[in-house]
């Protein structure tokens, strides 16, 4: 039984296999007769908002021959207190796979253990594995192997997106620099577990120096709305803009997982200068997730 719960637990060979197969799904879109999800129903169980993840998974499941069922977690009895263990055991007897977006990482893990069906993490407070797979696919399409390259993450260094970057670094052989305010840096335990060449700083220019990729994410992640005022103050200055880009490799790419808040984590000019890359990242969610689904159902 294969689950994609975290990049930390995704074996390196599977990481690379998913990326390679994503390229093939992209190239063959519209011409492939392969239907690895034929006869299957997959549920998307989402407790947080989504545009890209929801639409790309629903489209991908249909293109692979399966049926997609969207379930708002709050409309389920789960939202009225039914335990996740019971929800998982019910759904596990009815459907063939689950894609879950929620708060606690432990809930995705519990669902996988109790449902006994392939389970995919579509974002938790701790990780966003599908996003980083699509990001690396996007980088490698334009620049070749990411191995030996320098990735600089600027912004909230303690949220799901940078944490998944941390678990990708050693497996894919790139250097990762995280520039974040002292109170929003990743925990030491995570860095120790991940290994690899990763540094953390509060100096955005030091992080960006010579970097091949500048990456950012929202300052106020879903679930952190009560901290919005403080975060906007603490994170002021941790922005990707044209001035910061001057420190990077002149051929550096700029990426954003979206949604973007112009004037906060990125300025409007830099966003538009790099819009082609950013929307290719969004498109690649579809191709990479078809590869993940195919991987999850193959032996």
- Regarding 264 and contact with ligand CP (CB under 6 A), the answer is no
Find the shortest distance in angstroms from Cβ 192 to ligand CP: 27
Which tokens in the block code for residue 45?
A: 């169980």
- Regarding 53 and contact with ligand CP (CB under 6 A), the answer is yes
Q: Where are the alpha helices (DSSP H) in 67-128?
A: 84-92, 105-115
- Regarding 131 and contact with ligand CP (CB under 6 A), the answer is yes
Residue 214 has phi, psi (to 5 degrees) of: -105, 130
270 binds, among ligand NVA, ligand CP, none (CB under 5 to 8 A by kind): none
Q: Which of these ranges, 4-12, 16-24, 49-57, 177-185, lies near ligand CP under the rule CB under 6 A?
A: 49-57
215 touches 165 (CB < 8 A) = yes
135 binds, among ligand NVA, ligand CP, none (CB under 5 to 8 A by kind): none
- Regarding 190 and contact with ligand NVA (CB under 6 A), the answer is no
Q: Which of helix, strand or coil describes residue 70?
A: strand
Strand pairing report for 97-101 and 119-121: parallel
- Regarding 222 and contact with ligand NVA (CB under 6 A), the answer is yes
CA dihedral 244, 242, 153, 54 (to 10 degrees): 170
Which tokens in the block code for residue 291?
A: 């590869």
> What is the distance between the alpha carbons of residues 75 and 72, in angstroms, rounded to a whole number?
5
20 is catalytic: no
Q: Which of 52, 256, 285, 287 is catalytic?
A: 285
What is residue 4's DSSP assignment? B
Binding residue for ligand CP, selected from 12, 35, 51, 199, defined by CB under 6 A: 51
Q: Which of 217, 267, 281, 287 is catalytic?
A: 217
Q: Which of these ranges, 147-155, 191-199, 213-221, 291-299, lies near ligand NVA under the rule CB under 6 A?
A: 213-221
> What is the distance between the alpha carbons of residues 108 and 13, in angstroms, rounded to a whole number?
23
How many secondary structure helices (H) and strands (E) does the chain include?
12, 9
3 is catalytic: no
257 is catalytic: yes
Q: Which of 52, 101, 177, 274 is catalytic?
A: 101
Find the shortest distance in angstroms from Cβ 220 to ligand NVA: 8
Indicate which residues carry an active-site annotation. Answer: 101, 128, 131, 217, 257, 285
């Amino acid at each position: 039984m294969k689950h994609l719960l975290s990049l930390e637990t995704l074996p390196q060979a599977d990481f690379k296999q998913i990326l390679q197969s994503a390229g093939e799904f992209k190239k063959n879109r519209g011409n492939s007769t392969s239907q690895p999800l034929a006869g299957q129903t997959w549920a998307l169980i989402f407790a947080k908002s989504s545009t890209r993840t929801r639409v790309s998974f629903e489209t991908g499941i249909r293109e692979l021959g399966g049926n997609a069922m969207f379930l708002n977690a709050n409309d389920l009895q789960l939202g009225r207190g039914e335990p996740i263990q019971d929800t998982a055991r019910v759904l596990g007897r009815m459907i063939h796979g689950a894609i879950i977006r929620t708060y606690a990482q432990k809930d995705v893990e519990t669902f996988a253990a109790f449902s006994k069906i392939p389970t995919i993490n579509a974002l938790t407070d701790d990780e966003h594995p599908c996003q980083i797979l699509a990001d690396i696919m996007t980088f490698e399409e334009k620049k070749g192997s990411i191995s030996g390259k320098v990735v600089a993450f600027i912004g909230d260094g303690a949220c799901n997106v940078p944490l998944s970057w941390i678990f990708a670094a050693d497996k894919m052989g790139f250097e990762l620099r995280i520039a974040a305010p002292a109170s929003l840096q990743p925990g030491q335990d995570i860095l120790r577990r991940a290994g690899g060449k990763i540094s953390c700083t509060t100096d955005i220019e030091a992080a960006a120096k010579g970097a091949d990729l500048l990456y950012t994410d929202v300052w106020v992640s879903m679930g952190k709305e009560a901290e919005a005022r403080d975060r906007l103050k603490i994170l002021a200055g941790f922005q990707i803009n044209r001035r910061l880009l001057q420190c990077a490799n002149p051929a550096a790419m700029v990426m954003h997982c979206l949604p973007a808040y112009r004037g906060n984590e990125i300025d409007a000019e830099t966003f538009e200068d790099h819009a082609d890359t950013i929307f290719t990242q969004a498109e690649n969610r579809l191709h990479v997730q078809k590869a993940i689904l195919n991987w999850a159902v193959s032996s």
